[in-house]
Amino acid sequence: MSKKKIINHSPGDDIKISTSSWTFGGNVVKKFDKHIKKSIPFYEEGHLLICRLSDFFLKNNSVCYEIGTSTGSLIKKLAMRHKDKKIEIVGIDLENEMVKKARENTKNIKSINIKKGNVNSYTFKKSDLFISYYCIQFIPPSKREKIIKKIYKSLNKGGGFLFFEKIKFEDPKLQAIGTTIYKDFKLKQGYSLEEIVAKTNYLKGILKPNFSKVNYALLKKSGFKRIMTIFKYTPFEGIMALK
């Protein structure tokens, strides 16, 4: 009896996934910036918002961390915005290929330091700003509280945590509406239904969004008391938390 051949469909943008799960390595790295801008609504506007908010936290001798820096595109913008200040911006990523790409993209920018590391075991310096731009959603839920507590502990008083995540809704009707709006967004970006379904399937077991109230609860439990939503578009949410 012959085995049925398994066909792995592309999630779009000529990305080739050779396994049944999503990866941030391999072929994805070369296509990442193009793909992510088309996959997350207001992706670059979110970068702009973070850069503007960073003005309230970064001063001379400040340290800033981005967890899951990917290709380094966001911290490069931050460095350019604060080029007249003496600051250190550290981008941390787990994937070798992403680290290499981020270093290429930010070479000759003295304020940027790209580190390969696992945020679970990474030792942070005292800092004024942390950024997680759609990253913690890929970390196992059981480890998220520990990470956010580390962030809170590492921040100086008055420091900020900018926390962007895809979320899920408690109400099934709201979840259905949010999912439909997001699917329509991706269709308008030129993705086919087959590509959208393929990406959804690849992310199963990898992307595990929380309810919005769970993210708020994690922040409060970690010590943050001043918390507000700064961005919201159906299942995408940005939160600012101050120490």
Q: Is residue 15 one of the residues assigned to a domain?
A: no
Beta bridge partners of 155: 127
Q: Which domain holds residue 176?
A: 27-242
Q: Is the pLDDT of residue 69 over 70?
A: yes
Supply the CATH number for residue 199's domain: 3.40.50.150
Q: Is the pLDDT of residue 82 over 60?
A: yes
Over residues 185-216, the pLDDT tens digits come to: 989 988 888 878 877 777 777 789 999 999 99
* pLDDT (0 to 100) of residue 224: 97
pLDDT above 90 as % of the chain: 73
Q: Is residue 197 one of the residues assigned to a domain?
A: yes
* pLDDT (0 to 100) of residue 32: 78
Q: Is residue 65 one of the residues assigned to a domain?
A: yes
pLDDT confidence tier of residue 114, bands split at 50, 70 and 90: very high
Q: Is the pLDDT of residue 155 over 80?
A: yes
Average pLDDT of the chain, as a whole number: 88
* Minimum mean pLDDT range among 31-40, 94-103, 155-164, 229-238: 31-40
User: Which of 115, 21, 34, 37 is closest to 69 using CA atoms?
Assistant: 115
User: Which of 134, 138, 160, 143 is closest to 64 using CA atoms?
Assistant: 160
Q: Is residue 179 one of the residues assigned to a domain?
A: yes
User: Which of 48, 92, 88 is closest to 70 using CA atoms?
Assistant: 92
* pLDDT (0 to 100) of residue 200: 75
The helix (run of H) or strand (run of E) holding residue 50 is helix 43-54
Over residues 2-58, the pLDDT tens digits come to: 333 334 455 444 445 555 444 444 556 777 788 889 889 999 999 999 999 999 999
* pLDDT (0 to 100) of residue 16: 52
Q: Is residue 231 one of the residues assigned to a domain?
A: yes
Q: Is residue 14 one of the residues assigned to a domain?
A: no
d(CA 104, CA 112): 11
Question: How many domains, the chain?
Answer: 1
* pLDDT (0 to 100) of residue 107: 94
Given a contact cutoff of 8 angstroms between Cβ atoms, the answer to whether 131 and 65 are in contact is: yes
